[in-house]
Amino acid sequence: MGMTPGKGIGIGFQLVDSGWGRVLEEAVAASGSELRIVCPFIKERAALRLLAGGKPETIQVITRFNLGDFGEGVSDTAALRLLLDHGAQIRGIRGLHAKLYLIGGI
């Protein structure tokens, strides 16, 4: 795991292959301004962990809306409700498989 500075605008990049839960929590707590999540599945426990360090000013979520995912329990509506209650903007994309977390304003 390492940090590589971006060019010109002070953006950092970090590839995390283990302990990513802690890294995300610390990054959200340190930034506090903006959280963008792109992931096919979302669970309430994961959403709670991301919000534990404080409420970002802006929360944007892109996830996969597939009723089968909710029925099988790989995603849950409680996570979406929690994020909406915290002011999140949520959009769905069919067939989404990417996972990306952007923390802080760019």
Kindly report, residue by residue over 61-92, the tens digit of the pLDDT: 999 988 999 999 999 999 999 999 999 999 99
Both tokens of 71, joined, read 């029925």
- CATH (domain of 9): 3.30.870.10
Q: Is 23 helix (H, G, I), strand (E, B) or coil?
A: helix
Angle between helices 20-31 and 44-51 (to 10 degrees): 50
Specify the amino acid at residue 88: A
Phi and psi torsions of 14, nearest 5°:
-140, 120
Q: Which domain holds residue 75?
A: 2-103
**In the chain, how many domains are there?**
1
User: Which range scores top for mean pLDDT: 11-20, 23-32, 63-72?
Assistant: 63-72
Measured CA distances, 91 to 1, 13, 73, 84 (Å):
31, 25, 19, 11
Which pLDDT does position 1 carry in this prediction?
39
Whose tokens are 């979406």? That residue is 80
